[in-house]
Amino acid sequence: MKVIFIPNYSVSIAELIIPATDLSEQISTAGTEASGTSNMKFVMNGGVIIGTMDGANVEIAEEIGEDNMFIFGARIDQVQSIRESLAKGDHPIDPRLRNIFTLIREDRFGNAKEMASLLEDLEKNETYLLCHDFSSYVEAHERSDAAYKDKIRWNKMSISGALHAAKFSSDRSIEDYSELIWNLSPVTVPTPAENPLARLKTQPHLVDANTNLEKLREIKEHKEANIINAIEDTELIDSLNKEETMDRRPTTFQ
Q: Which of 53, 50, 61 is nearest to 140 (CA)?
A: 50
| Same domain membership, residue 140 and residue 57 | yes
| Same domain membership, residue 202 and residue 87 | no
Which range of 13-22, 168-177, 232-241 scores highest in mean pLDDT? It is 13-22
Does position 62 have pLDDT exceeding 80, yes or no? yes
Portion of the chain with pLDDT greater than 70, in percent: 81
Is residue 99 included in any domain, yes or no? no
SS3 39: helix
Is residue 115 included in any domain, yes or no? no
Contact 51, 27 (CB under 8 A): yes
Burial of 7 (0-12, 13-18, 19+ CB in 10 A): exposed
Domain CATH code at residue 36: 3.40.50.2000
Domain boundary among 181, 204, 221: 181
How does pLDDT run across 165-209, given as a tens digit for each residue?
A: 988 888 888 889 999 999 988 888 777 667 666 665 555 444 555
The average confidence (pLDDT) of the chain is: 84
Cβ atoms within 10 Å, residue 105: 14
| Same domain membership, residue 168 and residue 67 | yes
| Same domain membership, residue 148 and residue 78 | yes
Structural domain boundaries, residue 83: 11-91+126-181
| Same domain membership, residue 53 and residue 176 | yes
Is residue 40 included in any domain, yes or no? yes
Domain boundary among 181, 207, 225: 181
Angle between helices 130-149 and 95-105 (to 10 degrees): 110
Confidence grade of residue 252 (pLDDT, cut at 50, 70, 90): very low
Is residue 152 included in any domain, yes or no? yes
Is residue 107 included in any domain, yes or no? no
Is residue 134 included in any domain, yes or no? yes
| Same domain membership, residue 67 and residue 137 | yes
Does position 36 have pLDDT exceeding 60, yes or no? yes
| C-alpha to C-alpha distance for 81 and 218, rounded to whole angstroms | 76
Contact 53, 74 (CB under 8 A): no
Does position 60 have pLDDT exceeding 80, yes or no? yes
Burial of 192 (0-12, 13-18, 19+ CB in 10 A): middle
| Same domain membership, residue 173 and residue 207 | no
Q: Which of 152, 132, 157, 143 is nearest to 75 (CA)?
A: 132
Question: To 10 degrees, the CA torsion angle through 226, 228, 230, 232?
Answer: -160
Does position 130 have pLDDT exceeding 50, yes or no? yes
Q: How confident is the model over 98-116, as a mean pLDDT?
A: 91
**Domain tally, the chain:** 2
The pTM assigned to this predicted structure is 0.69
Which range of 67-76, 192-201, 237-246 scores highest in mean pLDDT? It is 67-76
| C-alpha to C-alpha distance for 49 and 66, rounded to whole angstroms | 10
Residue type for position 146: A
Is residue 227 included in any domain, yes or no? yes
Is residue 3 included in any domain, yes or no? no
| Same domain membership, residue 214 and residue 140 | no
Does position 1 have pLDDT exceeding 80, yes or no? no
Portion of the chain with pLDDT greater than 90, in percent: 45
| Same domain membership, residue 133 and residue 57 | yes
pLDDT at res. 222 = 81
Contact 65, 46 (CB under 8 A): no
Does position 52 have pLDDT exceeding 80, yes or no? yes
| Same domain membership, residue 132 and residue 62 | yes
| Same domain membership, residue 206 and residue 81 | no
Does position 248 have pLDDT exceeding 60, yes or no? no
Confidence grade of residue 251 (pLDDT, cut at 50, 70, 90): very low
Helix/strand/coil (H/E/C) assignment for every residue in 85-100: HHHCCCCCCCHHHHHH
| C-alpha to C-alpha distance for 66 and 69, rounded to whole angstroms | 5
Contact 34, 28 (CB under 8 A): yes
Does position 70 have pLDDT exceeding 60, yes or no? yes
Confidence grade of residue 92 (pLDDT, cut at 50, 70, 90): confident
pLDDT at res. 170 = 85
| Same domain membership, residue 243 and residue 132 | no
